[in-house]
Copies of this chain bind each other. A is one copy, B any other.
Amino acid sequence: MKRAKKKVFTDFMSQRGLKSTKQRDVILDSFLSSDRHLSIEELYLKIRAKHPNIGYATVYRTLKLFAEAGIAREMQFGDGQTRYEHVGEGEHHDHLVCTRCGSIEEFENETIEKLQTEVAASRGFLIERHRLELYGLCGNCRK
């Protein structure tokens, strides 16, 4: 699905008249082969190890492009850094965030999603997106 996301991005770029560059290729590769939920700084440092000539601003701008293209999602877990995670076509999930070790697990729960829609509907509210994050101690940290 790395292939698939690359195609999505390429299509997005040409459709918008944007150019393919060495930097964007490097950043995309690095992003797709990274842990999920990486901050800009983390990705930048990782890239800089092999490509010292790529600037922070370029990583920053390219991640925004990924988000616009629909292959990345921007998130805030309250640690003061914006993080980007991979997303696939039509995928959605929520998060369990460990307040001790910082690990992030993902989950999906169709029933919760349905109840959200009901709550919203009962107030005439139309949901565009939502965020559900459970903060606490992960299995490891409880031991």
**Could you say which of B124, B126, B130 contacts A132, with CB atoms under 8 Å apart?**
B130
Query: Is the beta-carbon distance between A132 and B129 smaller than 8 angstroms?
Result: no
Number of chain copies forming the complex = 2
Q: How far is the CB of A104 from chain B (nearest CB, A)?
A: 11
Q: How far is the CB of A92 from chain B (nearest CB, A)?
A: 13
Query: Is the beta-carbon distance between B115 and A139 smaller than 8 angstroms?
Result: no
Nearest 6 A/B pairs, CB to CB:
A124-B139, A128-B136, A127-B136, A126-B137, A130-B134, A126-B136
Listed stretches A7-15, A35-43, A65-73, A105-113; interface member: A105-113
A116 interface residue per 8 A CB criterion: yes
Q: A116-B134, A130-B133 are in contact. Are A123 and B139 (CB under 8 A)?
A: yes
A120 interface residue per 8 A CB criterion: yes
A27 to B33, CA, bound (A): 50
- 9 residue pairs from A and B, CB less than 8 Å apart: A76-B78, A99-B128, A111-B115, A112-B115, A119-B134, A125-B138, A127-B136, A129-B136, A130-B135
Query: Is the beta-carbon distance between A109 and B115 smaller than 8 angstroms?
Result: yes
